[in-house]
Amino acid sequence: MMSETGVPPSTNVPLSTGVVPTASAPPAHEAAPEGRIVTVARRRGMGIFLVLLAILTFWTFGLAVPTQVQSTFLLTGPPAVSVAPLVMSVHWISMVLGVLCGALGLVIVFRRRSRGTYLLFTLGVVFFIWSFLMWVSRGESLNLVDMLAETLIATTPLVYGSLSGVLCERSGVINIAIEGQFLAGAFLGAMIGSASGNLWLGMLGGAVAGGIFGSLLAFLALRYGADQIIVGVVIDAFCLGLTNFLTEEVLTPNQTTLNSPSTFSPIALPLISKIPVLGPVLFNENIFVYLAVILLFAINIGLFRTRRGLRVRAVGEHPRAAETVGINVMRIRYQNVILGGVVAGIGGAVFTLGSVGQFSADMTDGYGYIALAAMIFGRWRPFGALVATLLFGFAISVQSFVAILRPGIPSPFLSMAPYIITIAVVSGLVGRVRAPAADGQPYKSGG
C-alpha cells in the first residue's frame, strides 16, 4: 500500500526528509541526521585555534602597530548614494577584536554544550578577518564595496558548480567532472556568443556543453557501472586537453570572430540598488547572479518540498527500497546527472560571458573542485552550499585586493588561501558530515 508520495510505510522513509534511517543509531555526541558531528575534541581544537588567532590579532595587528595609524574603508559604489568613509584606528580596534576573539575561543573550549559552536567560531573568525583587513590597509584606503562585489563575482560560478553537485549526489552519483563541465561551458559559450553576437545563445551553448559531458558521465557511470570518481577525473582531463587544443587551433587564429564576446551588462534593480554598500553589491549585477538566486530557490524547493524531490533523495539513500515501490532509479539518476551538467555548463559560461569576455586555456583554475568542497561543507544542501561558496569567494576576493595593497605578504601565499580552505573542508577539519547513503555506489536495476 503506497503513501501519496509513492513510498510505502514499510520503507521507513520519513516524509519530511526522504532519508532512509540506517540500522545503527546516531552517535551520542549530538549529531542530527545530515548535520555536522561536533565532538569534544573538535570543539577544543576550534577553541584553541581561535585563541591562536586572537594572539596574532592582538599582538601583530594591534600592539605592534603605532597608535596613530588608521585604516580607511570606502563604502560608496555606483549606483548607490554616497556615504562617508569608515576610518578606524588599527592599533586599538585590533586589540579589542583580539580580546573578543580570544574570549570566544575560551568559551568554546570550556562550555559543555555543542549547540552554537560553529556560530561562535564563525564570529571569532570574522573578528580576525576584520582586523587583518585593517592591518593590510593601514595608512591606505580599501574600497569595501568593490571587494564585496568581487566576492559575489567569484562566488557565482561556484554556486552553479555546487548546485550541480547537489543535483547529482542527492540522486547517488558523484560528479567530479564539474571542472571539465565548467571548461566546456566557458569555451562553447564564448565561441557561440562571439560567432552569433547573441549572449543568450552563448549561455545556451554553455548549458548544452555541460549537458553533453553530464550525459557522458551518466552513460559511463550508470550504464556500465564505471567508477564514478575515475570517470569524472577522466572527463576533467579530456575537457582540459580538448579546450586547450581548440583554443590554440581555432580560437587564437580567429580571435576577433570566435573569441571576443561581449559580457552581460549589470541590471540595476530600481530603488534597492541605491542602498549604500548592499545596493551595488547585491542589486546591480548581471543576469548570471540573478539566475543563480532563482536556481537556488528552485532546486531547494524541488528537492525538499516536492514529491519528485522526495523520490530523488530516496534514490540517493536507498535505491533498492525506492525501486520496490515503482520508482525508476536509473531514469531519475540519468535526469539528475544530465541536469547537473547543464547547470555546471551555465556556471562555465559565467567565466566568459559574465566576467572576462574571452576564453583562455585552463581559465576555470580549479573552481570545479572548490565547488565540490563547498557542496560538502554545505551538507549537500543548496543554501548550505551557498554559505560555503560565499566563504570561498571572499577568500578569492581578499587575496586579489590584498595583493594590490602590497602589505608585505608574498602573493603566492595569498593565492593559496582558497585551496587551503578547500583542504580543511574535505579533510573534515570543520566537522564530519554524512553524504547520501548510496552516493557513488553502482546500482543495477532488478539486481
pLDDT tens digit string along 310-348? 999 999 999 999 999 999 999 999 999 999 999 999 999
- What are the domain boundaries of the chain? 40-139, 145-426
Q: What is the mean pLDDT of residues 187-191?
A: 96
Looking at domain 145-426, which CATH architecture does it have?
Answer: Orthogonal Bundle (1.10)
pLDDT given for residue 413 in this prediction: 75
Question: In percent, how much of the chain has pLDDT > 70?
Answer: 88
pLDDT given for residue 160 in this prediction: 97
| Contacts of range 247-254, beta carbons closer than 8 Å, 24 or more positions apart | 247/187, 247/359, 247/360, 247/361, 248/361, 250/191, 251/190, 251/191, 251/359
User: pLDDT band at residue 10, thresholds of 50, 70 and 90?
Assistant: very low
- Phi, psi at residue 146, to the nearest 5°? -65, -40
pLDDT given for residue 168 in this prediction: 96
Q: How far apart are CA 286 and CA 299, in angstroms?
A: 21
Map grid coordinates 590597509 to a residue.
Answer: 137
pLDDT tens by residue, 222-277: 999 899 999 999 999 999 999 999 999 999 999 999 999 999 999 999 989 999 88
User: pLDDT band at residue 429, thresholds of 50, 70 and 90?
Assistant: low
40-54, 184-198, 336-350: least confidently modelled range: 40-54
Distance of CA 91 to the CA centre of its chain: 34
CA atoms within 13 A on the CB side of 143: 15
User: pLDDT band at residue 9, thresholds of 50, 70 and 90?
Assistant: very low
Under 8 Å between Cβ of 95 and 62: yes
pTM: 0.87
33-37, 87-91, 95-99: least confidently modelled range: 33-37
Q: How far apart are CA 90 and CA 407, in angstroms?
A: 14
Q: With 80 as the cut, is the pLDDT of residue 108 above it?
A: yes
pLDDT given for residue 302 in this prediction: 96
Identify how many contiguous H helices and E strands the chain contains and give both numbers: 17, 5
User: pLDDT band at residue 432, thresholds of 50, 70 and 90?
Assistant: low
Under 8 Å between Cβ of 253 and 197: no
- Phi, psi at residue 427, to the nearest 5°? -85, -5
pLDDT tens by residue, 375-424: 998 889 999 999 989 988 998 888 888 877 766 777 677 777 777 777 77
Name which residue leads in pLDDT, 297 or 21: 297
pLDDT given for residue 38 in this prediction: 63
Q: Indicate the average pLDDT of the chain.
A: 87
pLDDT given for residue 35 in this prediction: 46
Name which residue leads in pLDDT, 426 or 178: 178
pLDDT given for residue 236 in this prediction: 96
Strands 141-143, 70-74: parallel, antiparallel or unpaired by DSSP?
Answer: parallel
Q: With 70 as the cut, is the pLDDT of residue 28 above it?
A: no
pLDDT given for residue 131 in this prediction: 95
pLDDT given for residue 426 in this prediction: 65
pLDDT given for residue 407 in this prediction: 67
Break the chain down into helix, strand, coil percent, rounded to 5: 65, 5, 30
Q: How far apart are CA 166 and CA 374, in angstroms?
A: 10
Name which residue leads in pLDDT, 406 or 148: 148
Q: How far apart are CA 447 and CA 436, in angstroms?
A: 20
Helix 307-317 / helix 287-304 crossing angle, nearest 10 deg: 80
Buried b (16+ CB within 10 A) or exposed e, 336-363: bbbbbbbbbbbbbbbbbbbbebbbbeeb
